[in-house]
Amino acid sequence: MRGSAIEVTRLRKSFGQVKALNGLSFDVPAGSVFGLLGPNGSGKTTTVSILSTALRPDGGGATVLGLDVVADAARVRQVIGFAGQYAAVDANLTGRENLTLIGRLSRVGRRAARVRADELLAGFGLSTAADRLARTYSGGMRRRLDVAAALLHRPPVLFLDEPTTGLDPESRAALWESVRDLARSGTTVLLTTQYLDEADALADQIVVIESGQVAETGTPAELKARFGTVVFQFGYADAADAESAARVLAAAGYRPERDGTGLRVTSDSGSGTVTTVLRTLDGRVPDPVSVSVREPTLDDVFRILTSQGGEAA
């Protein structure tokens, strides 16, 4: 299957006076991992809730595998798996009971539900805890059970809403590995996250949303390239020194960002600027106590987009 697995067109949704989505559009290529990135309240959860038929849009439209999420909602539910932001498992059922229940309700058949539950418990490292009540699980185990529950009927499209929020690093790594496995086996995965390293590590394609609109889109590499090739991080002895260095750099046409005694400058004109930036500062302000030069991360992209209203770079 080629082409788009998910198409979102000018989607709008308000909650009272709050416009959660304000004309959001994007396409998710089939078989890819797609990262929906944005701060709290940017509309990520609203988007996946609409795509997984839990919410109705006010306007615009969306399709999943060509099926309309409103008009054909019942059929959309057959091809999607959804793991929401809160691990929605029944704490008073065992891991196995949770999965067989969801399996039956996903209409895979009673025997198949049992077999699938075993496969998934093994696949997510929950076999030994399978017959314990979910209320005895750690946060990471619950989260894995929750993702497993979204996979009972082998959905070709999977929605994960902030799947690693609140997880310890080890559980997070395990979940990342599961997402990669899913992608390798051909599942289209749309995940929301506020962690840029997560999108960087997992996503083939990223959409950054802010205030319910697309702020930026591209591959992780494209986004990083678009937002500068070099990031300088200076540390000064005191805030006054940092401030005067910021003024000097701003006068020279850079966009310095001061944070206490720290100063960050993102530059997009190649390695030549390392010397240029240093020469600009040399002799005009006290020497910094520390200097580091690195490649931009998605954090830098995100910071620039959200602090300067998307006009940067």
Partner 1 sequence: MSTTALAPARQAAPRQTLSSQVTATFWDTIDVAVRNLRTLLRTPQALIFATIQPMIFVLLFRYAFGGAIRVPGVPYVDYLMPGVFAQSVAFGALGTAVGLSADLRSGLLVRFRTLPMARVAVLAGRTLADLARNLLVVAVMTAIGFAVGFRSPGGAGGLLAALGLVVVFAYAMSWACTALGLRISDPEAAQAAGVPIVFLLVFTSAAFVPTASMPGWLQAFGTHQPVDALVTAERALILGGPAAHDVLVSLAWSGGILLVFALLAARSYARMGR
**Total interface residues for partner 1 by CB under 8 A:** 54
Tell me: does residue 49 bind partner 1 (CB under 8 A).
yes
Angle between helices 95-105 and 139-149 (to 10 degrees): 20
> Do the Cβ atoms of 203 and 12 come closer than 8 Å?
no
The set of residues, in sequence order, having a beta carbon less than 8 Å from that of 225 and lying 6+ positions away, is none
Tell me: does residue 59 bind partner 1 (CB under 8 A).
no
Tell me: does residue 70 bind partner 1 (CB under 8 A).
no
Q: How far apart are CA 243 and CA 284, in angstroms?
A: 12
Tell me: does residue 78 bind partner 1 (CB under 8 A).
yes
> Do the Cβ atoms of 98 and 147 come closer than 8 Å?
no
- Closer to partner 1 by CB, 119 or 287: give it: 119
Single out the residue of 59, 107, 271, 299 in contact with partner 1 (rule: CB under 8 A).
107
- Closer to partner 1 by CB, 4 or 187: give it: 187
Single out the residue of 3, 18, 71, 92 in contact with partner 1 (rule: CB under 8 A).
92
Single out the residue of 101, 214, 225, 293 in contact with partner 1 (rule: CB under 8 A).
101
Residues 132-191 that bind partner 1 (CB under 8 A): 133, 149, 151, 153-157, 177-178, 181-182, 184-187
- Closer to partner 1 by CB, 85 or 211: give it: 85
> Could you tell me what percentage of the chain is helix, strand and coil, using 3-state DSSP and rounding each to the nearest 5?
40, 30, 35
Q: What is the DSSP-derived secondary structure letter of residue 94?
A: B
Q: How far apart are CA 1 and CA 175, in angstroms?
A: 26
> Do the Cβ atoms of 190 and 157 come closer than 8 Å?
yes
Tell me: does residue 112 bind partner 1 (CB under 8 A).
no
CA of residue 121 relative to chain centroid, distance: 25
Give me the residues that bind partner 1 (CB under 8 A), please: 1, 49, 52-56, 65, 67, 74-75, 77-80, 82, 84-93, 97, 101-102, 104-107, 119-120, 122-124, 133, 149, 151, 153-157, 177-178, 181-182, 184-187
